Structure 1
Amino acid sequence: MIKIAVRQIGPGRLTRGLESDGRVDWDAHRGLHPEPRMLESDRLIALAEAGRLCGRGGAGFPFARKLQAVVNSAVRRRKRTVVVVNGTEGEPGSAKDKVLLCRAPHLILDGAALAATALGAREIVLGVTDEDAAASVELAIQERELGERARVVRLPERFITGESGALVRGINGRRPIPPGRKGHASTRGVDGLPTLLSNAETYAQLAVLAGLGPDAYGRVGIPEEPGTVLLTVTGSARFPAVVETPAGAPLAHLLDLCGSRAGEGVLVGGYHGAWLTGDIATRTQVSRVSLQEAGGTLGAGIVMPLGRGTCPIGEVARVARYMAAESAGQCGPCRLGLPDVAGALSALAGGQDAADALERVRKAARMVVGRGACAHPDGVSRFVLTAMDVFESDAAEHVAHGGCGRPVLGVLPAETDAQLQLEVDWSRCDGHGLCADILRGIVRMDEYNYPVIPTEPIPAMLESDARRAVAMCPGLALRLVQRVPKEARK
């Protein structure tokens, strides 16, 4: 079971009954949430419109329009439909959907059942990556006696798994990466059928909206964005938590609740989101409109304040390396552009030709925008470029003095399951640079034209490239070794 605190600003709705760490079973759930009345498609669409319900997975697309698109496609093609719950939540800094899946699975299933009934869907499919989440949802399906009407599909835990096209591919038994050509699940999704795909919180919000009705649902929040918002607050927060708050609440209040200050900067929206300065963050509300006006985004509902004890450029460089490795690697911006961004950031963080590195960061990040097969390069570019603006003074310190004097504490999570690390035998290395050419963004050359080998493990998707670099090293100086976990080193 996921271990993160759940906090509330005002009465809880999605998080009602989650004050303890336990899972809400079927009987307890019905004591907390009345069974929603099933509706036909036109009435469910009207309900979603009246409640101004938007997707909570990142894009914020109006849920009523998604429903209508699936209805239109099903009628036009004379096909059955499928309802998909996206519970993958591939961002390392996010936990809100996992909390719902692990501890309130029936609220998600209530919303999915509403949609499935309205659409006459063939089945409900829940795509998850977390083992505990999968077990909780499978138990909920048994408790509700749904039988073959609902199933859980376990997928690899990677950042891009949650992209809609990748998720559909994974459910269809293919490699879960974004497809080369853009398409819409509402037209052709699971098994080629019209598919309603939204994330776990969205379906939970639909269940709450149906239970309360639009008027009661809108008694909290703001007129443009009624209801509550579920956020994951991590980063430098002393008390990281999943927080349910009314839309429109001050972001500063949220940070105070989790024992944090805005500091030098706050990341909003996750690793496809944007950085805000501390001053701007404290004047911003938790809403899509307010965050957008401030230059940020609500995105996947992630808030990460960065304290003054860690090096911001080093933290951003760690995440950039992680994001470059987490791409599908099937188009130029991901195969070449993102590694270039990560390599330039690593050089800037290490103070190597920092002035040139800073310019290369900005140039490489701008070059990938709008050119990828999916939105991954665009999101990483926004994350990096806004960081360069917010932490401009820190970047200047790296340019002027080779660093800012602060350690990189790893405050921004960038976990990997990789188990192999590169090592170099310096008595053999002649600085040919083939390793840096093959592992762009992972290995870089220093001012003496010798490779700088990362201390982090090699991402799993780059292991084949790392083995090729080892095999092609003219001096036989490189080798791959098994990573020693931090616990063992201690």
Structure 2
Amino acid sequence: MTAIRLPTTRSPGSVLGAAPGVTESAEAYRATGGHAGTTDPDALLRHLDASGLRGRGGACFPAAVKLRAVRDRGGAPVVVANGEEGEPGSVKDRWLLRARPHLVLDGLAHAAAITGAVRGYVYLSDPEAGASVRRALAEREPHLPVEVVETDHTYVAGEESAVVRRIDGGPALPTTKPPRPFERGVGGAPTLVSNVETLARIALTAAHPGLRRTIARSTLVTLSGGHSEPVLAEVPYGVPLRTLAAWHGTPAPGGALMGGLFGGLVDGRALDLPLEPDALAAAGTALGCGAIRFLAAGACPVATAADAVGHLAAESTRQCGVCVSGTAAIRDT
């Protein structure tokens, strides 16, 4: 069971909200300022540009750039809240959909207003999250038609072209690119596929534009490993990884597996790096989805790497010979 740790100082810009163990109702969401934020889509896009908000799905791509790319394609765009987190060790997206569905749906509505989208989807694999989103949709005014699409939980099911393919009725497997979803996505329309935490931070920025920088430079992390239970927390950029390890309960880790599997293994020297996308990228690793698994002192990094490669081999889409044969060969070495 993953524990939830609230920030020491509570802020209206926190995605964890006031009662993280309870599913937030529409009434509770409105009472904290929900649905009452910036109404001008152009103004909100400027706030997102100025804040430097990056996507939280793994690649850390600038959110405003992605929104603008879909908007500028014209036509009748589609927006998708992507809640299918395939990276091992990550729980933040399903937690947001379970506990704060109105925050995510509000962000989806703002994204639709910015891009000119006429319909939306919430894409997920967790049945409890799906039930929570459906209840939330029944509680709110249907300004934007939104459909919940469920898929099987796999490593690749959350990749954006796999999301589009599944919504269109196919398997949740990636397709060749180009075209990318912003060019041709669901039903052939320009499509924004946005991680649910990204959308939650868009909604918070709309409600609290004065906190835009704080909202953009805080992130959810799932901390695990060692002998302590996993923890979901919201932390500001810049905190050293070593501080997070001590806070989690792994005070002297030998290294870490970063971003689920996205950021790879780092040794103990990297633990003095700050939790900040550019600093991590410069060091050859990545924050990814925010899942960080600390290796207890004395743990074998080779065994950890072998487990990771084994998982990748088992989760191969089997659409590319290099992946099918190469990943399995590395696993069996």
Normalised to the residue count of structure 2, the TM-score between the two structures is: 0.93
Q: How many pairs does the alignment contain?
A: 330
Are 2:113 and 1:117 aligned?
yes
Shift of 1:259: 0.9
Match of residue 192 from structure 1: 188
Aligned equivalents of 2:62, 2:89: Cα separation in 1? 25
Match of 1:5 in 2: 3
Match of 1:266, SS state, is: strand
Q: Distance in 1 between matches of 2:70 and 2:143?
A: 24
State the match for 1:183 in structure 2.
179
The equivalent of 1:485 in structure 2 is: none
Cα distance in 1, alignment partners of residues 36 and 278 from structure 2:
30
Distance in 1, matches of 2:31 and 2:115, equals 27
Show the counterpart of 2:285. Answer: 296
Match of 1:331 in 2: 320
Amino acid at match of 2:236: P
- 1:412-451 equivalences in 2 (<5 Å): none
Instruction: Report the Cα offset of residue 147 of structure 1.
Output: 8.1
**Which of 213, 216, 223 is the equivalent residue of 2:211?**
216
Distance 1:104 1:259 in 2: 27
Structure-2 residue corresponding to 1:207: 203
The equivalent residue for 1:18 is: 19
> Which stretch shifts more, 65-74 or 311-320?
311-320
- Classify 1:182/1:338 alpha carbon distance in 2 versus 1 (closer, same or farther; 3 Å): farther
Q: Give the aligned partner of residue 98 of structure 1.
A: 94
**Which residue identity lines up with residue 272 of structure 1 in the other structure?**
F
Indicate how the Cα distance of structure 1 residues 237 and 81 shifts in structure 2: closer, same or farther if over 3 A, else same: farther
Conserved? CA contact 2:80–2:120, under 8 Å: yes
Alignment match, 1:390: none
- Note the 1:366-385 alignment, pairs <5 A: none
User: Following the alignment from structure 2 to structure 1, what is the Cα–Cα distance between the partners of residues 63 and 174?
Assistant: 22
- SS of corresponding position for 1:185: coil
Select the residue among 168, 172, 176 that pairs with 2:168. 172
- 2:253, 2:172 → 1: CA distance? 38
1:159-196: CA deviations, max 9, x gaps? Answer: 00011101100011001101134321111111110111
Report the secondary structure of 1:161's partner residue. coil
How far has the Cα of 1:38 moved from its partner?
5.0
In structure 2, how many angstroms separate the alpha carbons of the residues matched to 1:160 and 1:33?
36
Distance 2:252 2:31 in 1: 39
Distance 1:277 1:262, change over 3 A: farther
CA distance in 2, matches of 1:27, 1:237: 40
Change (3 A) 1:126 1:172: same
- Which amino acid in 2 is paired with 1:335? V
Q: 1:122 touches 1:149 (CA, 8 Å); kept in 2? A: yes
Q: How far 1:95 sits from its partner (Å)?
A: 0.3
State percent identity of aligned pairs. 35
Q: Which residue of 2 aligns with 1:254?
A: 244
* Structure 1: distance between partners of 2:4 and 2:295: 21
Instruction: Work out the CA distance in 2 between the residues paired with 1:195 and 1:40.
Output: 21
1:80 aligns with 2:76: yes
Return the offset for 1:197: 1.2
Change (3 A) 1:200 1:304: same
| Cα distance, 1:312–1:277 mapped onto 2, change above 3 Å | closer
In structure 2, give the amino acid aligned to 1:339. Answer: A
CA gap of 1:186–1:340, structure 2 versus 1, over 3 A, is same
Match of 1:143 in 2: 139
8 Å CA contact 1:141, 1:147 repeated in 2: no
Conserved in 2, the CA contact under 8 Å of 1:8 and 1:245?
A: no
In terms of mean alpha carbon deviation, does 83-92 or 23-32 score higher?
A: 23-32
**Which residue among 240, 265, 275 is the counterpart of 2:230?**
240
In the TM superposition, 1:466-481 aligns within 5 A as none
In 2: Cα distance, 1:60 partner to 1:148 partner: 27
Change (3 A) 1:170 1:262: farther
Partner of 2:4, secondary structure, is strand
Equivalent residue, structure 2, for 1:420 = none
Within the alignment, does 1:341 sit opposite 2:330 as a pair? yes
Structure of greater Rg: 1
Amino acid at match of 1:190: V
Alpha-carbon separation, structure 2, partners of 1:276 and 1:322? 18
Q: Note if contact 1:262-1:305 (Cα within 8 Å) is conserved in structure 2.
A: no
Q: Specify which of 159, 167, 184 is matched with residue 163 of structure 1.
A: 159
Q: Secondary structure of 1:244's match?
A: strand
Alpha carbons 2:224, 2:230 under 8 Å: kept: yes
Q: 1:196 to 1:148 in 2, by over 3 A?
A: closer
Stretches of structure 1 that go unaligned for 5 or more consecutive residues are 345-490
Q: Is 293-302 or 47-56 further displaced after alignment?
A: 293-302
Whichever residue aligns with residue 184 of structure 2, its letter is: R
| 1:111 match: secondary structure | helix
For residues 246 and 237 of structure 1, the distance between their equivalents in structure 2, rounded to whole angstroms, comes to 25
Q: Which residue of the partner structure matches residue 402 of structure 1?
A: none
Aligned pair partner of 2:262 in 269, 272, 277: 272
Aligned counterparts of 2:231 and 2:321: Cα–Cα separation in 1: 37
Q: Supply the distance in 2 between the matched residues of 1:88 and 1:46 (Cα, whole angstroms).
A: 28
> Residue 54 of structure 1: SS of its match in structure 2?
coil
Query: Any conservation in 2 of the 1:165–1:183 contact (CA below 8 Å)?
Result: no
Q: Offset at 1:41?
A: 4.1
The answer (yes or no) to whether the contact 1:36–1:207 under 8 Å persists in 2 is no
Per-residue CA deviations over 1:55-99 (Å, capped at 9, x if unaligned) read 11011111111111111111xxxx211110110001231001111
Give, in whole Å, the separation in 1 of the partners of 2:144 and 2:169.
18
- Which has the bigger relative contact order, CA under 8 A and spacing at least 6? 2
Matches within 5 A, 1:376-395: none
TM-score, structure 1 as length reference: 0.64
Structure 1 residues 262, 302: CA separation in 2 closer, same or farther (over 3 Å shift)? farther
The answer to whether the 8 A contact 2:254-2:298 is kept is no
Alpha carbons of structure 1 residues 38 and 46: separation in structure 2 relative to 1, 3 Å: same
2:309 pairs with one of 314, 320, 330: 320
